Amino acid sequence: MLQAALKLASLHHCDELVCLGDMAGFDQRFYRYSSTRSASKCLALVRSNCRWIVAGNHDQHAAGVFPTYSNGFAYPENWFDLQNEDRKNLSRGRVWCYEGDEPNDLGLNDLLFMRKLPEYIILTINDITCLFSHYIYPDFTGSTTRDIKRPIHLKEHWDLMNIHNVTLSFCGHFHNFFTGFAYQRSLPFSKAIHSIPHNSFNMGNEKVIIVLPPLAGEKGRTSFSIIDMNSLKINIVTVG
């Protein structure tokens, strides 16, 4: 899927590529291609094609990195050496324990690279400041079970966007089939993220948090996103 997406990105003349994390992590309950999977090869493709890469929760777990935000949970030093059941008992549902992840083929150089990945990136493109992350601040990597249901759950993320004058915030992690949007003007008791079943969107000039559908989609639904920073449009391209 990643190879196919990279070919399509080239055909669509994409100038730069961004990876929003989770290059590692394979759960046979959700994904196919068990016999041909390779986190190491995926990482190599991402490294050789993407200008910007941020860490996802599965990446940090595979690399043995503690996330910056832990939802009040104090990770024990031997966390990554514990058995799945012990991690679940200790975490009490506050952080993900990755009990479904299969062993990966990441080598030492892969792990060293992943340990240095930033949790988020802020950059300015065509005078528009963008934030790229795997999930929502303060849980940029999505390592906790903190759920985003109501607009109040996005307050800290909006505050961060306002401090850094960010207009467009892009993240993944949700595994939604469709692109999701959040606006500061949302009513307090409405949904935080509104998914829209279309393949083309105008972003406009308003501050917005955009949840992009994943390339590693569950149940075989996969896509990647093309963001035109001149016309401020998003196009969702189906892969496979």
Q: Report the CATH number that the domain containing residue 51 is assigned in CATH.
A: 3.60.21.10
For residue 231, being part of any structural domain is answered with yes
Confirm if 154 and 182 have CB atoms less than 8 A apart.
yes
**Mean pLDDT score across all residues of the chain:** 93
User: CB 8: neighbour CB atoms within 10 A?
Assistant: 16
Whether 21 has a pLDDT exceeding 90, the answer reads yes
In a domain, 95, yes or no: no
Residue 220 clears pLDDT 70, i.e. is over it: no
pLDDT at 195 over 70: yes
Backbone angles phi, psi at 161, to 5 degrees: -60, -40
Mean pLDDT of 177-198: 88
Residue 158 clears pLDDT 80, i.e. is over it: yes
**In the prediction, which pLDDT does 218 show?**
64
Q: Tell which residue, 211, 41, 203, has the closest CA to residue 134.
A: 211
pLDDT at 91 over 90: yes
Residue 157 has pLDDT above 70, yes or no: yes
Asked whether residue 81 is assigned to any structural domain, the reply reads no
Looking at the chain, the whole-number percentage of residues with pLDDT higher than 70 is 99
Cβ distance 226 to 234 under 8 Å?
yes
- Region 150-156 average pLDDT: 95
Q: Are 90 and 99 in contact (CB under 8 A)?
A: no
| Helix/strand number for the chain, H first, E second | 6, 11
- The model carries a pTM of 0.95
90, part of any domain: no
Per the listing, tokens 């730069």 go with 16
In the 3-class helix/strand/coil scheme, how is 141-167 assigned residue by residue?
A: CCCECCCCCCHHHHHHHHHHHHHCCCC
Q: Give the number of domains in the chain.
A: 1
Residue (of 56, 59, 61) closest to 175 by Cα position: 56
Is the pLDDT assigned to residue 219 strictly greater than 80? Answer: no
| Four-point Cα dihedral 103, 92, 136, 162, nearest 10 | -150
Q: Which amino acid is at 189?
A: F
The pLDDT assigned to 151 comes to: 94
Inform me whether the pLDDT recorded for 41 exceeds 80.
yes
- Residue 32 belongs to domain spanning: 2-73+101-238
Predicted confidence band at 90 (pLDDT cuts at 50, 70, 90)? very high
Residue 93 has pLDDT above 80, yes or no: yes
**CA 211, CA 176: separation in Å to the nearest integer?**
8
Mean per-residue pLDDT, 161-177: 93
Is the residue at 153 inside a domain? yes
116 in any annotated domain: yes
Alpha helical stretches, state H, the chain: 2-11, 39-49, 57-63, 84-91, 108-115, 155-163
- Residue 84, in any domain of the structure: no
Would residue 191 count as lying in a domain? yes
The answer to whether residue 107 scores a pLDDT higher than 70 is yes
